[in-house]
Structure 1
Amino acid sequence: MDSREGVARADAAELVSRTLRLPDASLTGVLRTLGRPNVVWTAPEEPGIVGYGAAAQVTADGPERFAAVRQRADDVLASLDRPAAAPAVARPRFLGGFAFHDGHTGTGPWDGFPTSSFVLPHVQVVTGTGKTWVTVNAHGPDASEAAVERTLRDVRERFAPDERAAASPPGVVATARTTSRAEWREQVTATTERITAGELEKVVLAQALDVTLVEAFSLPDAMERLGDTYPSCFRFALRPTDGATFFGASPERLVTRADRDVRTGALAATVGRGETPDEDQQLAADLRSSSKYRHEHDVVTERIRDQLAGVATAIETGERRVRKLETVQHLFTPITASSDAHVLDLVEALHPTPAVGGLPPDAALRVIRETETFDRGWYAAPVGWFDRSGDGTFAVALRSALADETHVRPFAGAGIVADSDPDTEWAEVQLKYRPILDVFETGEGATTGEGER
């Protein structure tokens, strides 16, 4: 190991990487064919990526974690033996994520999840572009072209895409809350009092559920169901160790960098979907016209612009609009910019946005730590990928859950401002659980402990 923590490399080690084309397959076809992965990523307008094993893994703790991950990963990627040999879409990249708080301890349900962890997969499969590519990476004293070629042949020989449909949902035995309704009322009331007193302007409080399934969690089935229902979202699954999998379908892009072009946006303020088209339109109209919702959204938009100012230029704000998802609708404002910075520098500048943290940031983070009754871990934190050129995409890990065999822990939150009503915010959180719960529930009498207390 390198003397710097988290770098799986020897002095002067070379990164050996080779690529070949496979029979075309869907993301879930890859998952069903090659087994349980370490990382899965797919995003709007991007190919799907599935990674197995680790040619290199980097971790870092503390407030300098973003820069440390970048430096350690850059050392590995800079040693690539043939930088331009593979098609651009199939070139080596690191995938992973960060904890929400830099003081994350990785205990309890989050055992095995460091403060940050990124993996350069040993076997990286890219699909969703009409072609499927496998890239095998090896790094360290034993890396050799011959060994990489042998692995490539082995993957090719056993790759017969399994495209069967998802099985029926496994069903839910029971659901228990980490925060009761009574506790939530107390939390929101106390928080609005602190806001009124001038301690802060906004804070995002979250909850979690403990869900027990009838049958074990299936990642291919979960990814397929989420993709069918939320095709415009960022789907991910991360497993830093052999333990639990953190997965989700986030509606929120944190940032994308491609060459110098930067894309991000403000996604804040939430209402449900209507039972009829007329009701749905009325809810959207209320979302657009409400002074509370507009203020909540505008605060996020202006803060993101301010956060970008130190690392980007030519920052432009697009037209605010309503973004409709299966169970909720949000106000959304696209934001573009130009930057020479590495995508991880942009991630560091933007995390946490006011849509998942609050304002002022330090005060909001303090209130979150003091108030929430569970460990956020990687929930609402940056997850995504980056490559040798500093390009990449990161999402905010919302609509997400930890899953381990028959146990699943979904997370959801709501933005609290001065005039927030605890019951209204409670209802919003329940809507945000639905993307995950719908993956597992059969609709036959699933229970939620303390649901109406």
Structure 2
Amino acid sequence: MEPLRGEEVTVAETTVTTRGCPVDHAPVRTVLDTDTRPRFAWATGTETVAARGAAATITGSGGSRFGDVRTAARRLFDDHDVPETLPSVARPRLFGGFAFHDGDHDGESPWDGFPGAGFFLPAVQLTVRDGDAWLTVSATGPEADRTADERLAEWRTELSTLADGPQSEPPGIAGRERTPSQSDWRRQVRAAIEKVDRGDLRKVVLAQALRVSLDAELSVPDVLARLAETYPDCYRFMFSPAGAGTFFGATPERLVSVRGRTVRTEALAGSTGRGETPAEDEWLAKELLESEKDRHEHQLVADAIREQLAPFATSIRTGERTVRRLATVQHLRTSITAELGDDEHVLDLVEALHPTPAVGGLPPDAALRTIRDTEAFDRGWYAAPIGWLDGSGNGTFAVGIRSAVARDRIATLFAGAGIVSDSDPDREWDEVQLKYRPMLDELE
């Protein structure tokens, strides 16, 4: 099998050729399990994608990273040879995401090697949707057509010989290091509440980091397979850039989906735990729906998303507020659908919506300053947009929460809580511990 190191290409000066075909066998974990970089996994509902090796890459940094990626993506897809007969499920996509903040990462952080924005067009993409599997390959350069045809034939044969083996066990945790400590967290939350009471903030989301050392090597593809059983309705993702760790998670929060002129997003804010019995579960859900603090926090998020969509939309529809139940936590959720007045690229909406008040706060600039001044660790790609886009400007991005970044035998988990005027530091601490569970359960 050829090594897919990624053709070193400049998007502005290359032609890309894509080919694809249906396949009978889709060993997703095996395709991802070798450490070919970059690699990306995406799973939600009835669709699973495994991508590895780069035919082309796009990176960006700073405040212009959204626009820079959008411009480069349009240039790439404009000079792209794709058979018209290739169905939408198998058409080429760019996979990747963005950092939460504009600035560069601290080289000593677990995010070393992650760019401010990073996307790649896979050399090999395996897509399974509604039980049907498709192989898609891309190539660049003066002989891109021949390379793509040969790659398709080689991988079609190779897939027929591969099989997903048994899943590995969770590696086990040898040690834990929390940032901040619980006493420091109480001080941080009280300081944030003071800003809210003074009118400097309406809400801010403060996060924590949990660094764990592992007893054995970690197979992230196996983690994703186990998460599919526990969190089948979440967006499960994995991204391994060249020369970096692997960012992975199972997030319940969609930032935005764009298909044509229809935009779908949601407000997800306000949390409580799960009950040990159905009756206790229902009681907790009812308490959440009636909680003045959680309803206020949730409404701030829903109103802000509507305001962010308003410049693009001819109409915005808001669904009924409901409770979203996950394995360890329950959230207030409101679906939001908008119809666009003009054709818009998905990254236009991503830039407008990030960060939502569910992961940042209000007013946005004041909340981001508070986060930078308060948190003693680098958020990196945590709570930032991660997902895919295609040549038509459609795409889906999730919010990278319920997540971790791992390298060698070290994993760093992240989780946060929304702070408003009547937040209780100890209750918010407990909420963050619940949000660690999806990742901790796959590591312990």
Judge same fold: TM > 0.5, yes or no.
yes
Describe the shift of the 1:186–1:11 C-alpha distance in structure 2 as closer, same or farther (beyond 3 A): closer
Query: Residue 76 of structure 1 corresponds to which residue in structure 2?
Result: 76
Describe the shift of the 1:10–1:349 C-alpha distance in structure 2 as closer, same or farther (beyond 3 A): closer
Secondary structure, in 3 states, of the residue corresponding to 2:244? Answer: coil
Q: Which amino acid letter does the alignment assign opposite residue 374 of structure 2?
A: T
Give the C-alpha shift of residue 142 in structure 1. Answer: 3.6
Tell me the alpha carbon deviations over residues 117-153 of structure 1, each in whole angstroms, 9 at most, x when there is no partner.
11111111111332221111112x3442111111112
Alignment of structure 1 residues 13-412 onto 2, 5 Å: 13-25=14-26, 27-28=28-29, 30-32=31-33, 38-45=39-46, 47-82=47-82, 84-105=84-105, 107=107, 108-139=109-140, 141-159=141-159, 160-339=161-340, 340-412=343-415
Hey, what's the Cα distance between the residues in 2 that align with 1:16 and 1:418? 55
Cα contact 2:137–2:151 (8 A) shared by 1:
yes
CA RMSD in angstroms comes to 1.8
Give the C-alpha shift of residue 67 in structure 1. Answer: 1.1
Tell me the alpha carbon deviations over residues 402-440 of structure 1, each in whole angstroms, 9 at most, x when there is no partner.
011211101000000011111000000000000000001
Hey, what's the Cα distance between the residues in 2 that align with 1:48 and 1:121? 15
Q: Which amino acid letter does the alignment assign opposite residue 129 of structure 2?
A: G
Tell me the alpha carbon deviations over residues 146-187 of structure 1, each in whole angstroms, 9 at most, x when there is no partner.
111111122122213423342221111111112100110110
Cα contact 1:26–1:127 (8 A) shared by 2:
no
Tell me the alpha carbon deviations over residues 188-226 of structure 1, each in whole angstroms, 9 at most, x when there is no partner.
011111111111110000001111111111022111111
Q: Which amino acid letter does the alignment assign opposite residue 48 of structure 1?
A: T
Give the C-alpha shift of residue 37 in structure 1. Answer: 5.8
Hey, what's the Cα distance between the residues in 1 that align with 2:437 and 2:11? 46
Give the C-alpha shift of residue 104 in structure 1. Answer: 3.0
User: Number of residues paired by the alignment?
Assistant: 434
* TM-score for the superposition, normalised by structure 2: 0.94
The answer for unaligned runs of 5 or more in structure 2 is 1-7
Give the C-alpha shift of residue 308 in structure 1. Answer: 0.5
* TM-score for the superposition, normalised by structure 1: 0.92
Describe the shift of the 1:364–1:156 C-alpha distance in structure 2 as closer, same or farther (beyond 3 A): same
Q: Which amino acid letter does the alignment assign opposite residue 348 of structure 1?
A: E
Describe the shift of the 1:370–1:34 C-alpha distance in structure 2 as closer, same or farther (beyond 3 A): closer
Describe the shift of the 1:425–1:34 C-alpha distance in structure 2 as closer, same or farther (beyond 3 A): closer
Give the C-alpha shift of residue 263 in structure 1. Answer: 0.6
Hey, what's the Cα distance between the residues in 1 that align with 2:115 and 2:34? 29
Cα contact 1:136–1:152 (8 A) shared by 2:
yes
Q: Which amino acid letter does the alignment assign opposite residue 115 of structure 2?
A: P
Q: Which amino acid letter does the alignment assign opposite residue 388 of structure 2?
A: W
The answer for unaligned runs of 5 or more in structure 1 is 1-6, 442-453
Hey, what's the Cα distance between the residues in 2 that align with 1:86 and 1:247? 30
Hey, what's the Cα distance between the residues in 2 that align with 1:216 and 1:227? 20
Cα contact 2:204–2:420 (8 A) shared by 1:
yes
Cα contact 2:36–2:53 (8 A) shared by 1:
no
Hey, what's the Cα distance between the residues in 2 that align with 1:185 and 1:288? 26
Structure with greater strand percent: 2
Cα contact 1:14–1:143 (8 A) shared by 2:
no
Hey, what's the Cα distance between the residues in 2 that align with 1:32 and 1:57? 21
Give the C-alpha shift of residue 261 in structure 1. Answer: 1.4
Cα contact 1:192–1:417 (8 A) shared by 2:
yes
Of 170-179 and 203-212, the range deviating more from structure 2: 170-179
Cα contact 1:312–1:341 (8 A) shared by 2:
no
Tell me the alpha carbon deviations over residues 330-382 of structure 1, each in whole angstroms, 9 at most, x when there is no partner.
00000001122111001011000000000000000000000001100000000
Give the C-alpha shift of residue 14 in structure 1. Answer: 1.5
Of 268-277 and 8-17, the range deviating more from structure 2: 8-17
Hey, what's the Cα distance between the residues in 1 that align with 2:28 and 2:266? 27
Hey, what's the Cα distance between the residues in 2 that align with 1:173 and 1:371? 28
Cα contact 1:33–1:162 (8 A) shared by 2:
no
Secondary structure, in 3 states, of the residue corresponding to 1:341? Answer: coil
Secondary structure, in 3 states, of the residue corresponding to 1:323? Answer: strand
Query: Residue 449 of structure 1 corresponds to which residue in structure 2?
Result: none
Hey, what's the Cα distance between the residues in 2 that align with 1:231 and 1:29? 20
Cα contact 2:33–2:219 (8 A) shared by 1:
no
Give the C-alpha shift of residue 64 in structure 1. Answer: 1.6
Q: Which amino acid letter does the alignment assign opposite residue 353 of structure 2?
A: L
Give the C-alpha shift of residue 36 in structure 1. Answer: 7.0
Cα contact 2:201–2:362 (8 A) shared by 1:
yes
Query: Residue 448 of structure 1 corresponds to which residue in structure 2?
Result: none
Hey, what's the Cα distance between the residues in 1 that align with 2:301 and 2:143? 46
Of 34-43 and 366-375, the range deviating more from structure 2: 34-43
Secondary structure, in 3 states, of the residue corresponding to 2:80? Answer: coil
